[in-house]
Structure 1
Amino acid sequence: METFNKKEKEKLRQKKRKDKQEKKEDRKANAQKGQSLDEMLAYVDENGNITNTPPDPRRKRQINEEDIQLGAAKVESGPAQDVIHQGVVTFFNASKGYGFIKDLQTQASIFVHINALTEPINEQDKVTFGLTSTPKGPNAIDVKKVA
Structure 2
Amino acid sequence: YPRMAETIRSLVESGIPVVGHVGLTPQSVNQIGGFRKQGTSPETADRILEEAIAIEKAGAFSIILEHIPDELAKTITDTLSITTIGIGAGPHCDGQVLVTADILGLSDWQPPFAKRYANLREQGIQAAKAFCDDVRTHNFHVT
By percentage of residues, which structure has more helix? 2
- TM (norm. structure 1) is 0.20
More strand by share: 1
Computing the radius of gyration from Cα coordinates, the structure with the larger value is 1
